Chain A
Amino acid sequence: MSGFVSVLRRELSLSLRGGGEMLTLVLFFVIVGAIVPFAVGPDKVLLAGIAPGIVWIAAFLAMLMGLEKLFGPDRADGTLGLYRLADTPLSAVVAAKVIAHWLTAALPLILASPILALLLSMDLPTFWRTLVSLLIGTPALAGFGALGAALTVATRHGGLIAPILIAPLSMPVLIFGVGAISASGGPGQTGVATLLLAALSLMVVALTPFAAALAIDWGED
């Protein structure tokens, strides 16, 4: 348990001392969201309609950005090999990294989401639902992200392949995530989507550390 906490603390202090990485991620998130009106036109009604989808896509893309540094530096400097020989099980190390990844790559985005809500003329009830859906759904993205990073850490150009692997798996997260916001499905559907999203998130966060640890253990040399 102390090993788990130590990995978490180490990851967080590396990120916090890393200078502007987190800020860059937030900037990316806001810019991706803010670019959409230029592409589809500044029609407020249209923007408000697709705003939940835009926020989710922006969050999804921004979280892909941070994947490279999840296991890449650890592999480069030999830390990953030592993790495999550690007392703390590799799956616990990965679980700590999933949590750290969420705290450093998802939480800042959620905190920045009011800016996008404003730019995309979201109304207040929709914004609250967006906030809840992001809070519930992004852990699943963090889990899938860690899995993708673990699968490709031993490859030469893994940075490009990880998103390709993760995107199809993350489809349900996007579906339920946006479904939990927009009321187009009639009454009750948003509640159903929120519950399904929560179930999915719990399952992904519980299971991916084990799969990712297997992938690292067997793919490394």
Chain B
Amino acid sequence: MSIDTTPKMSWWNRLAHPGQFVILTKPLILPLTALTALLFAAGLWFAFFNSPADYQMGDTVRIMYVHVPTAWLSQFVYATMAVSAIGSLVWRHPMADVSMKTAAPLGAAFTAMALFTGSLWGRPTWGTFWEWDGRMTSTLVLLFIYLGIVALWRAFDDQLRAARVVAVFTLVGAVNIPIIKFSVDWWSTLHQPASVFRPDGPTMPGSILTPLFVMFFAFTFLFITLQLTAMHTEVRRRRIATLERRAARGETR
């Protein structure tokens, strides 16, 4: 940081500098929050009042409007983490570290929500809260991986070292998740009749698709908003930690 910090930084360099990143992305938070709120309002209105109950599943079909977006996010967040991990390992991008760290608990939360809504939906539909079906099982394994990553972050004192180690594990996990998914699918077809769950799902009429689509964007923007806010918090947390350490050493800089 010693030579020419101020003049003419490219946007990439500005993003790489934590302080600059906060300044640059701070104005985005308010509009993003508003957009997310708007999308949720519209999506929930569609979901509750402007979509029909399914002729088979009844009102339980509305659980899908939360379940499907969170299930999508459980994978999207992992992809975000994997891309951040590459950014952290290859380019040593400081904000990639931060993004990787803040995405992990968010991903765990969305995955847990997907599992929760899935079992709520499963009770009236399958007659049981938990079914060892391929999708639910691999989502559960994904949740374990998320929680493992959060635990690994917490096990390190030095967050810079933690970032690189977690990045390695995140990428190993990214390679492994398709294998886990394949093995679990193979296993679940082996142990139970395939009729319990139809992988293609019921064909959906348009009136269900609209709220699903809106909710899908609402949740995605919720993630983006939370992620940005959490990244800002993390940057500040690190700055405070640095200042505290300096104060402890009696420096005045």
User: Do A and B touch (CB < 8 Å)?
Assistant: yes
Compute how far the CA of A109 lies from the CA of B165 in the bound complex, rounded to whole angstroms: 31
Residues of A within 8 A of B179 (CB): 172, 200
Compute how far the CA of A32 lies from the CA of B141 in the bound complex, rounded to whole angstroms: 24
Residues of B within 8 A of A17 (CB): none
- Least Cβ–Cβ distance between B174 and chain A, in angstroms: 11
The A/B interface has a contact count, at CB < 8 Å, of 90
Compute how far the CA of A165 lies from the CA of B142 in the bound complex, rounded to whole angstroms: 11
- Least Cβ–Cβ distance between A89 and chain B, in angstroms: 16
A165 in contact with B148 given A154-B156, A156-B155, A171-B184 (CB within 8 Å): yes
Q: Which of B147, B161, B171 is close to A154, meaning CB atoms less than 8 Å apart?
A: B161
Q: Which of B144, B169, B175, B184 is close to A151, meaning CB atoms less than 8 Å apart?
A: B169
Residues of A within 8 A of B196 (CB): none
Decide if B152 touches A152 in the complex (CB within 8 Å). Answer: yes
The main secondary structure of chain A at its interface with chain B is helix
Q: Does A87 belong to the interface (CB within 8 Å)? A: no
Q: List 25 A-B contacts (CB under 8 A).
A: A147-B172, A151-B152, A151-B165, A152-B155, A155-B152, A155-B155, A155-B156, A158-B155, A161-B151, A165-B152, A167-B144, A168-B142, A168-B148, A168-B173, A169-B173, A171-B183, A171-B184, A172-B184, A175-B184, A179-B187, A193-B186, A200-B179, A214-B89, A219-B156, A221-B161
- Least Cβ–Cβ distance between B224 and chain A, in angstroms: 27
Chain A's closest residue to B165 (CB) is: A219
Residues of A within 8 A of B176 (CB): 169, 172
Q: Does B230 belong to the interface (CB within 8 Å)? A: no
The main secondary structure of chain B at its interface with chain A is helix
Compute how far the CA of A214 lies from the CA of B171 in the bound complex, rounded to whole angstroms: 12
Q: Does A92 belong to the interface (CB within 8 Å)? A: no
- Least Cβ–Cβ distance between B111 and chain A, in angstroms: 12
Q: Does B135 belong to the interface (CB within 8 Å)? A: no
Chain B's closest residue to A200 (CB) is: B179
Q: Does A20 belong to the interface (CB within 8 Å)? A: no
Chain A's closest residue to B169 (CB) is: A151
Decide if B151 touches A168 in the complex (CB within 8 Å). Answer: no
Decide if A151 touches B183 in the complex (CB within 8 Å). Answer: no
Decide if B169 touches A168 in the complex (CB within 8 Å). Answer: no
Residues of B within 8 A of A189 (CB): 190
